[in-house]
Amino acid sequence: MCRRLCVALLLLCMFACQAGIIRPTHPQTRLLETGLFSFSFAPKSATQQSAAVASTTGGMVYLSPTASQFSSNLESTVTQRSIYYNVITPDGSVVQQQAIPGSAYMDFDETLDGIMQRYDVPGLAVSITRNGEPVFVRSYGYADKEKGQLVSDQSLFRIASLSKPITSAGILKLIQDGKLTLADKVFGPEGILADEFPEPVADPNIAQITVYQLLIHTSGLTNSGGDPMLVDRAATAREIITEEVLHRVLEHEPGSTVAYSNLGYSILGRVIEKVTSKPYQDFIQEEVLLPAKIIGMRIAGDSMAQQVPGEVTYYQEEYDPYTYNMARMDAHGGWLSSTGDLMRFMALIDRNPAIPDLIEDNLLQATYFGGETWTHYGSLPGTTAVLSRVNDEYSFVVLANTRYNRSPNRIADEVSNALKEKILSMESWPTGAEQLAIND
């Protein structure tokens, strides 16, 4: 009896020690561990480094992002089972196809499937480009579980804070065309919106806020007391801005401190409307998206009844994804897009000469678009979105119709880090003909 007890204790100790072993970090992971920076510009020195900034809805911007601890353990959590991805047939229908072990993309398929299983993700769409050309386009799971509708690369998702890069491009286009400057003031007697909103009463410093400060989140506007863009669902954007201009006391002097602001980008949307005399959505579609032949992107509706053809259903147990005023969120979080359209947009701002940019390089360099590596997240209940410039060659986009609400950026972190690791480790990609064969 004593001998059996000793053996049992020995085995228990062995298992306990094994559970505590940490797997070595993959070499490619170490390549990504270069620091976490703000969105504003590519840091040239240590004095320009700062922490990433996040919104209350989970939006985030990184420059030179670090690989998270999760990516090194992704493969160990993937179970051996059949994996399916979705394919559009010649007649336009979407069908499931089994991933073939040993195929060129199986490593990607296994990793993404593992993340979907771990966080109960209904549907996921991914697109990777190299020098503007797609090298990996995959979709998995369901756009609508109840109806059995599958996700495709043409499915429309809410992209939440990925709307901000779109607004940034619109502002930079106006500056490039000579209709604005980065130094223009926004409020007060000298402001662009002087005749649109009252003069600031509670804090005259609001009259010192510039277009540039709104772009890079240094306007002094913060979310103390709650994000003003996510309360009082019935209020319009203009009503909220008026209230803030009249009663807000800035916590920081404009230009001094980074604080992520949905309100700031809503204000930029109103700047676009004032300067162009067009509704925000119309200007963006005509002057930013149409040049890239993007015709599917639009502002989302609030309810399931307002969903457009091809739009996914959003799933979130903790919160109802259909309680947001999406039209009011237009410039900071209101857009719908497919992965394909977002990659076409990315080609307008990625500084890759393979496809000419819409915006001149000197203006792109004034924002985080000038970073060697940058990643922007979008997050709402029912939405996870990632747009990333990996390096001078590669970019990718990820869209999903849920988020892990206990840690809203968890899915984005894991997918983003895994894709960067695998992209950097790829020695070659299947040719166009080989990609077609993989999907047959």
Place of tokens 């590519």: 42
* Residue 258 resides in a domain: yes
What confidence score (pLDDT) does residue 231 get? 87
Cβ neighbours of residue 252 under 8 Å, at least 6 residues apart?
Answer: 220, 222, 259
Burial class (CB in 10 A: 0-12, 13-18, 19+), 332: buried
Residue 68: closest CA among 340, 352, 386, 347: 386
The mean pLDDT value for 336-355 works out to 96
What confidence score (pLDDT) does residue 182 get? 98
What confidence score (pLDDT) does residue 80 get? 64
- Looking at the fold, whether 393 and 429 belong to one and the same domain comes out as yes
- Looking at the fold, whether 309 and 233 belong to one and the same domain comes out as no
- Looking at the fold, whether 156 and 63 belong to one and the same domain comes out as yes
What confidence score (pLDDT) does residue 63 get? 62
- Phi and psi dihedrals of 210, rounded to 5? -110, 165
Cβ neighbours of residue 136 under 8 Å, at least 6 residues apart?
Answer: 105, 108, 126, 127, 128, 396, 429
Which domain-ending residue is among 276, 291, 321?
A: 276
- Looking at the fold, whether 140 and 199 belong to one and the same domain comes out as no
- Phi and psi dihedrals of 396, rounded to 5? -150, 160
What pLDDT digit, counting tens, does each position of 253-312 carry? 999 999 999 999 999 999 999 999 999 999 999 999 999 999 999 999 999 999 999 999
Which domain-ending residue is among 261, 276, 291?
A: 276
Q: Cα–Cα distance between 339 and 112 in angstroms, integer?
A: 16
Q: Is the pLDDT of residue 186 over 60?
A: yes
- Looking at the fold, whether 157 and 226 belong to one and the same domain comes out as no
What pLDDT digit, counting tens, does each position of 391-426 carry? 999 999 999 999 999 999 999 999 999 999 999 999
Pairing of strands 149-150, 133-144: antiparallel
* Residue 178 resides in a domain: no
- Looking at the fold, whether 75 and 48 belong to one and the same domain comes out as yes
* Residue 367 resides in a domain: yes
Counted domains in the chain: 2
- Looking at the fold, whether 244 and 367 belong to one and the same domain comes out as no
Q: Cα–Cα distance between 153 and 128 in angstroms, integer?
A: 12
Per-residue burial over 382-420, b = 16 or more CB atoms within 10 Å of its CB, e = otherwise: bbbbbbbbbeeebbbbbbbbbbbbeebbbbbbbbbbbbb
The mean pLDDT value for 195-206 works out to 95
Place of tokens 């240094």: 218
CA distances from 386 to 97, 108, 264 (A): 25, 16, 21
Q: Cα–Cα distance between 228 and 263 in angstroms, integer?
A: 7
Q: Cα–Cα distance between 127 and 357 in angstroms, integer?
A: 19
Q: Cα–Cα distance between 420 and 422 in angstroms, integer?
A: 6
Establish how many alpha carbons lie within 13 A of residue 111's alpha carbon, considering only the half-sphere containing its beta carbon: 23
Residue 253: closest CA among 302, 206, 297, 285: 206
The pLDDT mean for the chain works out to 85
Residue with more model confidence, 425 or 8: 425
| Contact between residue 231 and residue 329 where contact means Cβ atoms under 8 Å apart | no
What confidence score (pLDDT) does residue 224 get? 84
pLDDT confidence tier of residue 74, bands split at 50, 70 and 90: very low
* Residue 348 resides in a domain: yes
What confidence score (pLDDT) does residue 403 get? 97
Q: Is the pLDDT of residue 327 over 70?
A: yes
Phi/psi class of residue 161: alpha, beta or left (left: φ > 0; alpha: ψ in -120 to 50)?
A: alpha
The helix/strand count (H/E) of the chain reads as: 13, 13
* Residue 2 resides in a domain: no
- Looking at the fold, whether 300 and 409 belong to one and the same domain comes out as yes
Residue with more model confidence, 45 or 394: 394
The tokens for 328 are 């009011």
What confidence score (pLDDT) does residue 427 get? 87
Maximum alpha-carbon separation in the chain: 90
Place of tokens 């390096």: 391
pLDDT confidence tier of residue 433, bands split at 50, 70 and 90: low
Which residues span the domain enclosing 208? 186-212+219-276
Q: Cα–Cα distance between 303 and 311 in angstroms, integer?
A: 12
Residue 180: closest CA among 282, 286, 268: 268
- Looking at the fold, whether 250 and 377 belong to one and the same domain comes out as no
Q: Cα–Cα distance between 54 and 43 in angstroms, integer?
A: 19
pLDDT confidence tier of residue 432, bands split at 50, 70 and 90: low
CATH of the domain at 327: 3.40.710
What pLDDT digit, counting tens, does each position of 114-162 carry? 999 999 999 999 999 999 999 999 999 999 999 999 999 999 999 999 9
| Contact between residue 408 and residue 382 where contact means Cβ atoms under 8 Å apart | no
Burial class (CB in 10 A: 0-12, 13-18, 19+), 102: exposed
Q: Flag the least confident range among 64-73, 126-135, 318-327.
A: 64-73
* Residue 297 resides in a domain: yes
Residue 156: closest CA among 365, 349, 383, 331: 383
pLDDT confidence tier of residue 225, bands split at 50, 70 and 90: confident
pLDDT confidence tier of residue 81, bands split at 50, 70 and 90: confident
What pLDDT digit, counting tens, does each position of 21-43 carry? 222 233 322 222 222 222 323 33
- Looking at the fold, whether 333 and 380 belong to one and the same domain comes out as yes
Q: Cα–Cα distance between 143 and 335 in angstroms, integer?
A: 17
Could you tell me what percent of the chain has a pLDDT over 70?
80
Pairing of strands 335-337, 383-389: unpaired
pTM, full prediction: 0.83
- Looking at the fold, whether 86 and 231 belong to one and the same domain comes out as no
